[in-house]
Each structure stands twice: as C-alpha cells, then as structure tokens.
Amino acid sequence: MSKKITTEKISDSIMDELLFYENSIVLGMNDKARKAVNDLVKRTKDTAPVGKRSKHYKDSITSKKIPADRLTVTYVWYVKSPEYRLSHLLNNGHVTRNGGYVKGTGFIAKAEKEAIEQFEKGIEEVIKNG
C-alpha cells in the first residue's frame, strides 16, 4: 500500500498503516488462534481413551481465553480438575498396580501437532492476504 505523502503528513500515514496492520493481521491471527485451540479441544476429545469410570476423562478437556494485552489473546488447552492428573499417564503410558504396563496412546501429542500445523497455515494465509 504505497502512496505519496508529504513530510507534514507522515505521522498520519504511519498511524493509518498501523491501524491497517492491527485490523487485518493481528485480529486475523487472534481468530486463527481461537480456531486452532477449538480444533485441538475437539481432536483430543475425539481421540481420548475412554475407560470404565462413570465420569469420562474426555469430558474434562477444555480451553480458555487469556487476554494478553489490548490486541492479542492467548488460548490455553487444559483438563479440568481432578482429571488433569491422568493426562500424562494416558498420553505417555504408565505402570499398573499389578506390575504390568499400559502403553500411552500419544493422543495429545498427535492432536497438538495437527493443531500447530493448522495454525501455522492459517497465519501464513492471514499474512499473505493481509
């Protein structure tokens, strides 16, 4: 977006460019981040192991939005209490009480990898399309 400006109007021109950046790039990035974390929650809920317990682990998977500053936000994927204790065990495997071993499914790592790829493609799209 190039245009001819005089030295008197340079501050106005810089402000216009910064507002354009804010509206198109930053807001687009925030939207892609929201979509990526929602997809991560959905993928982990779909692939989470279901045991014999009455309350399923996957029902505790969620995310929340944390405002970082005026423009940007941070999204956090997490598992609600008390089920969060199972995340590491289910993903990576664990030893049973009888001395056996249960292999981990790696469902969190797989879903995370896919969500990151989706987020990166979305950010590239936002930057290219402005």
Which is higher by pLDDT, 69 or 41?
A: 41
Domain assignment present for 98: yes
User: Does residue 8 surpass a pLDDT of 70?
Assistant: yes
pTM for the model: 0.79
Q: Does residue 82 have a cis peptide bond before it, meaning omega lies within 30 degrees of 0? A: yes
Domain assignment present for 114: yes
How do the residues of the chain divide into helix, strand and coil, expressed in percent and rounded to 5? Answer: 60, 15, 25
Domain assignment present for 2: no
Domain assignment present for 1: no
DSSP character at residue 25: I
Q: What is the mean pLDDT of residues 75-90?
A: 92
Number of domains in the chain: 1
Q: What is the mean pLDDT of residues 73-93?
A: 92
Q: Partners of 22 in the beta sheet?
A: none
Binned at pLDDT 50, 70 and 90, residue 42 comes out as: very high
Sort residue 51 into left (φ over 0), alpha (ψ -120 to 50) or beta. Answer: beta
Domain assignment present for 53: yes
Residue 56: predicted pLDDT: 85
- Structural domain including 78 reads 7-129
Main-chain phi, psi angles of 62, to 5 degrees: -155, -175
